[in-house]
Amino acid sequence: MNTAAVNNMSFGERLKMVCTSHLGAPLLLLAILAMVVIPLPPMLLDLLFSFNIALSIVILLAVVYVARPLDFSVFPTVLLLTTLLRLSLNIASTRVVLLNGHSGPDAAGKVIEAFGEFVIGGNYFVGFVVFLILTVINFVVVTKGAGRISEVSARFILDAMPGRQMAIDADLNGGVINREEAKAKREEVRHEADFYGSMDGASKFVRGDAIAGLLILFVNVIGGLAVGTVQHDMAIGDAARAYVLLTIGDGLVAQLPALLLSTGVAILVTRMSQAQDMGKQVAAQMFGQPKALAVTAGLLGGVGLIPGMPNLAFLILAGICGYAAWRLYQQKAAAPREEKKPEESKPVELSWDDVTPADALSLEVGYRIVPLVDASQGGQLLAKVKGVRKKLTQELGFLVPAVHIRDNLELPPTGYRILLHGTPIAAGDVQPERELAINPGRVYGHVEGLPTKDPTFGLEALWIEPALHNQAQSQGYTVVDPSSVIATHVAHMVKHHAQDLLGHDEVQQMLNGLARTSPKLVEDLTPKLLPLSAIVRVLQNLLTEQVPIRNLKLICETLAEHGVHSQESHNLTAAVRTALGREIVQEIVGLAPELPVITLTQPLEQMLQDSVANGSSVVEPELAERMHQSITKSVHRREAAGEPPVLLVPGIIRPLLSKLTRASIPGLHVLAYHELPEGKNLRLVETIGDSAGQPA
């Protein structure tokens, strides 16, 4: 900043510039320390004592007018600096009093003289009593109460901090607030904890200052009497009159700002954390009830009529309270009768901002399920859904969108539903106070409970009391809590609709991540060779058939190799499935040495190949029904034997059979011959169809 600009600044702007500069705080600390070691003239002491009183008044008024305590977060630091300033002034004034006290009452300046002569009338005994009273008020009443409130507030704020953080996370995941609002709320919680923790320690400054003021007074009195009688050969009475009076004046000058700051601390820590105007709140809450004022007026009037009492004073106060009560009653009675004219508002034109997009994935719950979402009430649903989302993201290979949870009063109290892009795709019902005992097919006893079905897989189940948890498990039931039931249902629906959650933006993010390690591959693939929409379609096809897309690099390399010959999504998907054959088989049987397979007879395979070769993607209804029944029976037999059901067919008919069985026969894996990895042993377990080409 140039010299001309500085010269044009007002005094307040210059002061603010100095205080906010990097030199403000160090200069202030150096000045405070200098007062301890450098003798100060009486005139400078007058200026500093006056500044100390003015500063205390400014701080007290700032506390009164601030909207909320966090808006004055620098208060603990200010309190420390003002305490150091006051103690330094005590040391500086003590030096002047002991050195020059014999020369007269103005030896330590006009401020100390005024407090010694005018405030206490020149009577050091009266001054000593007044000083003790101020110290007791400050130390026993104000400081001790403020310190206790600061300690309790800090403890409660810190104890509640984890719950408030989880509530913010719940609001964020529930869609109540956005990411920026959640970040601001977390910062506010952290600042509030830091502030009240600092206030708990800062209140000890005020308490220590009150004790130090009392000790300094006694030391100065003894020192003054010793200096006056020994060094200056004064009589004990003259020494007391000179030194004790100056010492008490000095103590009163320091104790008054200390009392103001203690009051400021007490006001700040007793205020609510929310923003509010202190004057309006006091007026509204203390004098807003006409009944309280009317009863007060009656009591004061009764006391005013007693003979021998100060009747006029009590009757005047009774009249004022009665009039105020009558006015408040009139205002409250007239308020409901006032009819407000409806304001004529101009119709607001709609814009695209009024169109809110539907959440990709959301969960609506009835009002009795809401406690399962609230972590402060012990609810675990939010944490379980987040865990499910993380697990599915790792399994599927793309970032599963957040599940926004909200309540819906239109649902049954214990009902919930899962929505995909705003459209319900599944619903269920849970009992929040019970646990679900699922019958996996083999149980060895009976448990009391409410019969139901598992909402995810449709298995027979019971809603049991939590006390029967161990009994149900010992009898073969699988017991889960309501939060796990809902989270499992969400995971199941996300897995079966993963292709609908993967769009252009998500694929672009995946390609951006791949470009950091394989930039040339991504650059050659899109948009040079294939449009982004073709890649999206291939990835969606893979997810539709429950094939993870974790190995994005291999997928993109395969697309880059075969995209030169064809951009048809079905051909590209088949090529990618072949490249991912080892991963697909490992997802089915893990590290097992052999793969049990179900095949079709040669005539049935030929019939289906001829149908596909002729351009038809539809199987005759009767043949389709019989084949479907046979495959279903085979799948049930494989599941009963504890083996994964795998149907192995030629590549040309694999898409047709996969589409035919995907929805109606869950759990069946349809593989093509060319998708099997080299070296994988096969074990034929069943063949569907007879020599005539008809299903068995």
pLDDT band of 24, cuts 50, 70, 90: low
Three-state SS string over 219-247 comes to HHHHHHHHHHHHHCCCCHHHHHHHHHHHH
Q: What are phi and psi of 21, to 5 degrees?
A: -75, 170
Largest distance between two CA atoms of the chain: 138
User: What CATH topology corresponds to 593-696?
Assistant: Rossmann fold (3.40.50)
Residue 57 clears pLDDT 80, i.e. is over it: yes
Domain 365-497 CATH assignment equals 2.30.30.100: no
Indicate the range of 35-44, 167-176, 631-640 predicted with least confidence.
167-176
Helix axes 124-136, 245-270, angle to 10 degrees: 20
Give me the pLDDT at residue 223, please.
78
CA distances from 10 to 7, 14, 16, 17, 51 (A): 8, 6, 10, 11, 20
Residue 342 clears pLDDT 50, i.e. is over it: no
Distance CA 695, CA 434 (A): 47
- The vertex-71 CA angle with 70 and 72, nearest 5°, equals 85
Residues 6+ apart with CB under 8 A from 273: 68, 69, 70, 192
Q: DSSP state, 525?
A: I
Distance of CA 577 to the CA centre of its chain: 44
Distance CA 406, CA 311 (A): 65
Distance CA 659, CA 462 (A): 34
pLDDT per position as a tens digit, 453-493: 999 988 899 999 999 998 998 888 999 999 999 999 999 99
Q: Position 74: which residue type?
A: V
Residues 6+ apart with CB under 8 A from 666: none
The length of the chain in residues reads: 696
Stated as kind and residue range, the H or E segment containing 451 is: strand 450-453
Q: Return the domain boundaries, the chain.
A: 31-279, 290-332, 365-497, 502-579, 593-696
Name the more confident of 3 and 631: 631
Give me the pLDDT at residue 691, please.
39
pLDDT per position as a tens digit, 599-646: 999 888 888 888 887 766 677 888 888 888 999 999 989 888 888 999
pLDDT band of 443, cuts 50, 70, 90: confident
CA distances from 382 to 69, 377, 402, 404, 428 (A): 33, 12, 11, 10, 17
- Closest CA relative to residue 188, chosen from 210, 155, 164: 164
Indicate the range of 152-166, 357-371, 386-400 predicted with least confidence.
152-166
Distance of CA 585 to the CA centre of its chain: 43
For domain 502-579, the CATH class is: mainly alpha
Q: How do strand 435-438 and strand 478-480 relate by DSSP bridges?
A: antiparallel
Residues 6+ apart with CB under 8 A from 478: 437, 438, 440
Please give the share of the chain, as a percent, with pLDDT higher than 70: 83
Q: What are phi and psi of 146, to 5 degrees?
A: -65, -40
Distance CA 40, CA 692 (A): 119
Give me the pLDDT at residue 510, please.
93
Q: What is the chain's alpha carbon radius of gyration, rounded to the nearest angstrom?
A: 42
Name the more confident of 663 and 372: 372
Give me the pLDDT at residue 424, please.
93
* Residue 466 CB burial class (10 angstroms; 0-12, 13-18, ≥19): exposed
How many other C-beta atoms can be found within 10 angstroms of the C-beta atom of residue 433? Answer: 12
β-bridge mates for residue 77, sequence order: none
Collapsed DSSP state (helix, strand, coil) of residue 362: strand
pLDDT band of 401, cuts 50, 70, 90: very high
Give me the pLDDT at residue 695, please.
42
**Quick check: 67 and 277 in contact, CB under 8 A?**
yes
pTM above 0.75, yes or no: no
Q: What are phi and psi of 422, to 5 degrees?
A: 85, -5
Q: Which ranges of 599-642 would DSSP assign to H, the alpha helix?
A: 602-613, 621-640
β-bridge mates for residue 427, sequence order: 417
Give me the pLDDT at residue 560, please.
92
Three-state SS string over 330-371 comes to HHHHHCCCCCCCCCCCCCCCCCHHHCCCCCCEEEEECCCCHH
- Closest CA relative to residue 360, chosen from 539, 512, 548, 497: 497
Distance CA 491, CA 405 (A): 14
- The vertex-675 CA angle with 670 and 676, nearest 5°, equals 95
